[in-house]
Amino acid sequence: MKVPSIVQAEKLLNEAKKLNPGLWVDHSKTAGACARAIAQRCDNLNADIAYALGLLHDIGRRDGVTDMKHIINGYKFMLSKGYDDSARICLTHSFPYKNINAYNGQNDCSVEETEFIQAFLENVVYNDYDRLIQLCDAISFPDDPTYIEKRLVDVVLRRGFNDYTVPKWKEFLNLKDYFDNKTQTDIYQILNIL
């Protein structure tokens, strides 16, 4: 897979922190740690790859405070480094529900970028890394992992609710079930939050 090493991923995140410091950096570290811990319990996932993908899923925020644009900025940045699988995660992590209108926040992308993201989502078949980082994004506060419901409500309180919020929440809850089944435990147990 075209994914940076752990050392390289940590370096990229540290560089990004200097460019645009914020809570997103610690959120990314939490997501990486969660992804690693869950991947360790899944036969078909590599824990180091999962960690790197989690660390870098929001790397598009290196370019400044943006909303949906961080997705496309991250995608382009990781592609420019030759890390295509990491680039893909930058795009897929916000869309367990494959509809661009389900994004919680402002669409600050150009028309072309918006069309590109929607077409990408329509064509991509999610793999377990896509699913894992979607889940870990949804359970990661900057300090610690939390219950998925808590984080979903937190996002809605900060960013608002739209017609797609309920179907999107259902997809997130499905992801939790998916990884509970895969790991044959409750992922909250793995993450020590029960």
Residue type, 29: K
| Residue number, 24 or 83, with CB nearest to Fe ion | 24
Smallest distance from Fe ion to CB 120, Å: 18
**Min dist. Cβ of residue 43 to Fe ion (A):** 26
| Neighbouring residues of 132: CB distance < 8 A, sequence distance ≥ 6 | 35, 38, 39, 42, 45, 50, 53, 54, 179
Give min distance, CB of 27 to Fe ion, in A: 6
Which residue sits closest to Fe ion, CB atoms considered? Answer: 137
In the complex with Fe ion, which residue's Cβ is closer, 49 or 59? 59
Q: Which residues bind Fe ion (CB under 5 A)?
A: 58, 137
Instruction: Answer for the pair 73, 60: CB distance below 8 angstroms, yes or no.
Output: yes
In the complex with Fe ion, which residue's Cβ is closer, 115 or 147?
147
Taking the least distance from each CB to Fe ion, the nearer of 104 and 183 is 104
Tell the smallest beta-carbon distance from residue 57 to Fe ion (Å): 5
Taking the C-alpha atoms of residue 187 and residue 97, their distance in angstroms, rounded to an integer, is: 21
